[in-house]
Amino acid sequence: MHDPESPASREEAQLLPDEWLKVKTVPGNGNLSPGVYYPTGTGSKRSRSHRHGASRRTRRRAILKNGECNILKSRISQRRLRFLQDMFTTLVDAQWRWTLLVFTLSFILSWLGFALIWWLIAFTHGDLELDHLPPMQESNGWKPCVFNIFDFTSCFLFSIETQHTIGYGARTTTEECPEAIFIMCLQSIVGVMIQAFMVGIVFAKMTRPKHRTQTLLFSKHAVVCQRDGELSLMFRVGDLRKSHIIGASVRAQLIRSRTTKEGELLSHYQTELELNADGCDSNLFFIWPITMVHRINANSPFYGVSAADVLQEKFEIVVILEGTIESTGQTTQARSSYTTSEIMWGHRFVPLVTYNRERQGYEVDYSKFEETTQVDTPLCSAKELDEFYGNQADRRSIGYASIPETIYDKPSSPLTNMTDRLVVDALRRASLSTKPGLPKYPSHYFNNEECSSSSEEEESNTNDRTNVIS
């Protein structure tokens, strides 16, 4: 126990907002589960964080919010050779300026290369001598390899006409030089291959399924609240286009550190999270925004994680949406991630799909896509909640009010004592923690009266039962 008059306790009390000084523990009753809840005052704008004044420990992202992988690769042996062996994929993945540069150079260099070959053919045949130039050819009876070739410029123009089959008619090959006929055939084949290769790269780059992900949305925050009596981690996905994603499926993976039984530290251990939406599995009928739900049960890696632990844990949840684009038939994949600073405990997404009677259709208001509302949510972990309720599944929900309040009014009920112990113990651990980032609570939350009341009631109940037996 802290001394309420000590300087440390007074300093901690000053750091807490006024609204939190009014927060009290809520015992178990017919309407609320035991725990600590948000202040309900409306005088000031509340923070979206699930605890006021709480600083979070952020984690370096593996997947950025826009879906890009934050991975830097270094010290690759024979890196350039490996990438050049897969030139097509390298140019498709490259930035547009490099792709366009290669596109331009491929044509210019091929024109210049074959122009040099045509100049060498004309030079070795003697077509570039003064007596054999085009004005003198008819009087001298000279037959060149290519008509109307004066210099290298003429060879360059003839190279462009040959490669692209322009055929202006002024320059043509003759049967005088077999090598010229062979080079003409070779350049025509090479020109077609270059055009097919470069046009294919530009087309593949423009029609990449990656661009379709720009109209697939993930909510900026994930929320944790109760759904059907269970703590659930939820996030929202949406599609802005009218053309749908066929066979859409959503996966989620948890990335965090893990130590094996042998002591090996796995710094980026991946765990698959089970997802469902509206009573279905992760395969979606994706016609409007859908909230994906991960139930925090005994099979979940978050089973023992409480709201206070989220402030201390370092993990990242990677979410992946995959499906086939209806208009192109290509498979696309959209990615995003959530770190601990983007998980809001005690929030719920607001509905955004309504029926518009005027337009005779369902209307999706995307201005509410990121909007959440605060709801009463226990701050303890799902494991502690299960231990508290046991098999009483009908009492798990916050809004459950069908149990008579007289059950909780009995002074000898062990449920009340367990409620006090659970709440006080959770708050005491959060207040006495030496880890940075946890908010400190004033010591009067854990006064001796609150703890002794539970122990005295429990001791009196034990004495009563002993007297009855005797």
Is residue 180 pLDDT above 60, yes or no? yes
79-117 exposure pattern, b = at least 16 Cβ within 10 A, e = fewer: eeeeeeeeeeebbbebeeeebeebbeeebeebbeebbeb
The model's pTM:
0.62
* 123 — pLDDT class (breaks 50, 70, 90): very high
Question: Helix 178-206 to helix 96-125 angle, to the nearest 10 degrees?
Answer: 180
Q: What is the mean pLDDT of residues 147-155?
A: 92
Residue 9 confidence (pLDDT): 46
Residue 26 vs residue 96, higher pLDDT: 96
What's the rounded Cα separation, in Å, for the pair 307 and 128? 87
Comparing CA positions, the residue from 22, 26, 19 lying closest to residue 408 is 26
pLDDT in tens, 394-406: 555 555 444 444 4
User: For residue 102, which phi and psi values (nearest 5 degrees)?
Assistant: -65, -40
| pLDDT tens by residue, 307-328 | 999 888 889 999 999 998 888 8
What is the CA angle 397-19-428, rounded to 5?
A: 65
Report the amino acid identity of residue 393.
A
pLDDT, one tens digit per residue, over 342-390 is: 999 999 999 999 999 998 999 999 999 999 999 999 999 999 988 888 7
Q: Is 56 exposed, middle or buried (0-12, 13-18, 19+ CB in 10 A)?
A: middle
DSSP letters spanning 30-85? SS--SB-------SSPPPSSSSTT--------SB-TTS-B-------TTHHHHHHH
